[in-house]
Amino acid sequence: MKRLLAFLFLGLCISAFSCATVIARNLPAAGDGWKIAISEVSVSQNSTYPVGQGHLESKDHPDEPLVWVNITITNQAKQKRTFDYKRLVLSAGDIVRKPMLVDRDAGINIIIPSGRSDFDPEETLTRNVIFPFPKGKRPASIKIPGIGEVKIPKTNPQD
C-alpha cells in the first residue's frame, strides 16, 4: 500500500511541475440557463496528455502544446440538460481549435469520451477541457455556444 501511495504522490508531483503556465483566472459567463466559471486557463509545455501508462496527443495538431481550461458549469434551469464541452472553441485571430478531450477534473486523469455531461437542475460540475494550440501563441477567447465569447485577458494573473 505504501508503494502505491508513493507512486501516486510521485505522479502528482511530476504532473504539477511539468504542467503549465497560468495565463488567466476567474473568467465568468452566463446565459441560456447556464452559469459558467472558468477558474483557470493554463498552457502546458507538453503536447501529450498522460493517461494510464501511455499518452494521448492531438491527431490534427500533434506537436502543439496543450491548453487546459478548468471550467465549472451550473445548470440553472428547472429541467435536466446536457452540456457538450466539445462545442467550445479556443481562438486567437485566425487560429481556431476545438477540444482534444474532456477530463473529469478528479485529481487523476479520467477522460469523458463523449465530451458531454448530463446535469440535474441546479447541479454544478467541474471539468478540464484540453485544447491543442500553436506554440508561442496565446489564446484570446473561448466561444461557448448559447452564451457567447469569453475574452482571455492579455496579461498573466501574476502580472
39 pLDDT band, cuts 50/70/90, is very high
105 pLDDT band, cuts 50/70/90, is confident
Given the C-alpha cell 485544447, which residue does it identify? 131
Residue 68 to residue 59: CA distance in whole angstroms: 17
Q: Taking a C-beta distance cutoff of 8 angstroms, is the pair 126, 71 a contact?
A: yes
CB atoms within 10 A of CB 32: 12
Q: What is the pTM of this model?
A: 0.81
User: By percentage, how much of the chain surpasses pLDDT 90?
Assistant: 59
CB atoms within 10 A of CB 17: 7
Domain regions of the chain by residue span: 20-151
Considering only CA atoms, which of 9, 40, 23 is closest in space to residue 127? 40
pLDDT, tens only, 51-97: 666 677 788 888 899 999 999 999 999 999 999 999 999 999 999 99
Q: What is the mean pLDDT of residues 131-138?
A: 93
CATH class of this structure's domain 20-151: mainly beta
CB atoms within 10 A of CB 55: 11
Residue 158 to residue 104: CA distance in whole angstroms: 27
